[in-house]
Amino acid sequence: MEHSQQHRAVAGTGLVEDVEQCDVIIIGSGVTGLYALYRLRQRGFSVRAFEEGGGVGGTWYWNRYPEARFDSESYTYGYAFSEELLQEWNWSEHFAAQPETERYLNYVADKFDLRRDICFNARVVSAVYDEREHRWQIRTEDGHQARAQFLITAVGILSAHYIPDFAGLDSFKGVW
């Protein structure tokens, strides 16, 4: 099933809104989100992924601090679903730094044409399950809506922004 738009009347308003229809919605395009998108598409599902960032990579897109790197050997993050991919990519270090990891995930997204099913800069602000229709409906910050039978949250454990409540932080004048 290809992506489609459905026009739906909004009760009591006289307005019509567009709601994208697909089989599966994925939130996030990091390591897990990309893999889910690849596998589901391979099995014939129509899939739409929503990514808050401007590119793929999840943690490896967002965390660009100096010396950010794997805490496991690089090859363990490599996708094994494609022998060709395994042969094409050679990690330069046993514990790859962030820029190389992000390049790898971009390489994967390009090699398997995954970007065509990802909406970037799309922060999902709600996900509601409709018991009657047996479908999820998500809404992004800019108002885009999509509906699907299945919802996969691939946001990862490092997706929530958090600034510790350090005493004096609000008055600190230095760089942090």
DSSP letters spanning 119-131: ESS--EEEEEEET
**Residue 6: per-residue pLDDT:** 56
**Residue 159: per-residue pLDDT:** 63
Q: Answer yes or no: is 16 within a domain.
A: yes
Domain that holds residue 147: 4-66+112-158
**Residue 175: per-residue pLDDT:** 82
Instruction: Give the dihedral sign, CA 163/168/173/176.
Output: negative
Q: Answer yes or no: is 76 within a domain.
A: no
Q: Answer yes or no: is 38 within a domain.
A: yes
Q: Answer yes or no: is 58 within a domain.
A: yes
**Residue 156: per-residue pLDDT:** 79
Q: What is the mean pLDDT of residues 81-109?
A: 95
Half-sphere exposure of 141 (CA within 13 A, CB side): 9
- Number of domains within the chain: 1
Q: Answer yes or no: is 132 within a domain.
A: yes
Q: What are phi and psi of 169, to 5 degrees?
A: -60, -40
Q: Answer yes or no: is 150 within a domain.
A: yes
**Residue 121: per-residue pLDDT:** 97
Q: Answer yes or no: is 34 within a domain.
A: yes
- Cα 103 from chain centroid (whole Å): 16
- Give residue 166's pLDDT band: very low, low, confident or very high (50, 70, 90): confident
Q: Is the pLDDT of residue 140 over 90?
A: yes
And the tokens for 28?
């996030």
Largest CA distance in the chain: 60
Q: Which CATH number characterizes residue 130's domain?
A: 3.50.50.60
pLDDT tens track for 2-48: 565 554 544 454 444 689 999 999 999 999 999 999 999 999 999 99
Q: Answer yes or no: is 13 within a domain.
A: yes
What's the CA dihedral at 26, 29, 32, 36 to 10 degrees? 50
- pTM for this entry: 0.83
